């Protein structure tokens, strides 16, 4: 009998615990469902607010706001200096003969340049080469000699007499003759800084005029500049034309004429303006 009572007591205890756990789970499910319902409701309300705001909202890249233009300016002027690159080349069977010939002619070149008023400090060697020369046949190659090259660059300010300088180094009793090579002749300006202020001013005026015109066409009011950058040229040079270079290299005429022409100096600025309306 006692065993029967113990069995009934344990069964009732387990039954009560099971009912208690079931109630807790139901309560948790109810709370979870309520929380989910509240989140859905909040999300719907948020979507309604976004839909009310969105028609009047636009995401814009701030870097592109405003009116952006490029301003340009140019000035025509005559060069006041010329930069030349000339070389001396000699080919002989013995490298020592080529080196000696080039050295002798280079000394002549330096003497002529100094007599023409060019400072020795403005004459510099730009390239010196010793290259073996080969004759190629079907049986292979054969060494025929050595070519030595010595190139120098210098600045000449008496540009009206550049033709006379070429004649002097090309032919005559003290000239270099056939061993002379003229690599390049570039006309330039010694002090381009004196032009930059005016170029910069005109470029900014050009940019402002363009921006005002765009604002007028777009029916907006132009604001203050919010960005300015400039692209100034590094140097102002003009290379001689190929036809004049041919004349200079041949130096066959009694008097060589080299025309400098005019240089075009340009300046650019980039500007961004705000829009007031």
Domain boundary (187, 215, 232) is at: 187
pTM: 0.59
Which two tokens mark 159? 């540009």
Q: What is the pLDDT of residues 129-188, one digit of tens each?
A: 999 999 998 888 889 999 999 999 999 999 888 888 999 998 877 889 899 999 999 988
- CATH code at 73? 3.30.110.170
229 within some domain: yes
Which residues, other chains included, contact 206 with Cβ-Cβ below 8 Å and sequence gap of 6+?
A: 71, 72, 73
Q: What is the pLDDT of residues 228-249, one digit of tens each?
A: 998 866 555 555 544 444 444 4
Pair (125, 210) in one structural domain = no
* d(C-alpha 239, C-alpha 247), whole Å: 14
Domain boundary (129, 157, 187) is at: 187
Provide the number of structural domains found in the chain.
2
- CATH code at 91? 3.30.70.2970
Q: Facing residues of 231 across strands? A: 268
Domain that residue 153 falls in: 84-187
Domain boundary (167, 187, 207) is at: 187
175 within some domain: yes
167 within some domain: yes
Pair (75, 193) in one structural domain = yes
Q: What is the pLDDT of residues 10-42, one digit of tens each?
A: 555 555 455 555 454 444 444 444 554 554 455
């Amino acid at each position: 009998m006692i065993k029967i009572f113990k069995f009934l007591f344990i069964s009732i205890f387990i039954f009560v615990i099971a009912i208690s756990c079931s109630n807790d789970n139901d309560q948790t499910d109810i709370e979870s469902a309520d929380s989910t319902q509240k989140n859905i409701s909040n999300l719907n309300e948020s979507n309604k607010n976004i839909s009310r705001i969105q028609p009047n909202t636009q995401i814009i890249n701030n870097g592109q706001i405003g009116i952006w233009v490029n301003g340009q300016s140019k000035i025509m002027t005559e060069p006041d200096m010329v930069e030349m690159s000339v070389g001396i080349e000699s080919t002989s069977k013995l490298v020592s003969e080529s080196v000696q010939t080039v050295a002798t002619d280079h000394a002549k070149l330096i003497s002529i340049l100094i007599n023409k008023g060019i400072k020795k400090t403005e004459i510099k060697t730009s390239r010196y080469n010793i290259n073996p020369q080969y004759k190629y046949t079907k049986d292979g190659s054969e060494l025929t000699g050595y070519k030595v090259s010595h190139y120098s660059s210098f600045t000449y300010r008496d540009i009206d007499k550049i033709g006379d300088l070429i004649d002097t180094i090309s032919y005559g009793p003290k000239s270099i003759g056939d061993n002379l090579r003229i690599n390049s002749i570039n006309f330039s300006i010694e002090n381009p800084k004196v032009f930059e202020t005016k170029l910069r001013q005109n470029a900014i005026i050009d940019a402002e005029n363009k921006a005002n015109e765009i604002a007028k066409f777009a029916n907006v009011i132009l604001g203050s500049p919010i960005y300015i950058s400039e692209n100034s040229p590094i140097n102002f040079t003009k290379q001689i034309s190929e036809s004049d270079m041919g004349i200079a290299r041949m130096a066959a005429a009694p008097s060589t004429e080299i025309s400098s022409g005019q240089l075009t100096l340009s300046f650019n600025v980039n500007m961004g303006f705000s829009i007031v309306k």
